[in-house]
Amino acid sequence: MDRFSQACYNFGLTINTEKSQVIYQSAPGKVYAEPNITSSKKLKVVNRFTYLGS
């Protein structure tokens, strides 16, 4: 997410953290850590979502 966030910043884009969701699975044996996008903003973690793209 850090690279994605930085790439958006480089192109003058903003990420809508209100509408964005993430499916996250931690590696085996690792402590679950809720992902953040930037500036301590959290994304909503879900188990599944419907892709509404083109």
Count of residues for the chain? 54
The pLDDT, as a whole number, for residue 48 is: 87
Average pLDDT over residues 12-32: 83
* pLDDT above 90: residue 11: yes
What is the chain's Cα-based Rg? 13
- The structure tokens listed for 48 are 């599944």
CA dihedral 38, 52, 44, 28 (to 10 degrees): -90
CB neighbour list of residue 33: distance below 8 Å, 6 or more residues apart = 26
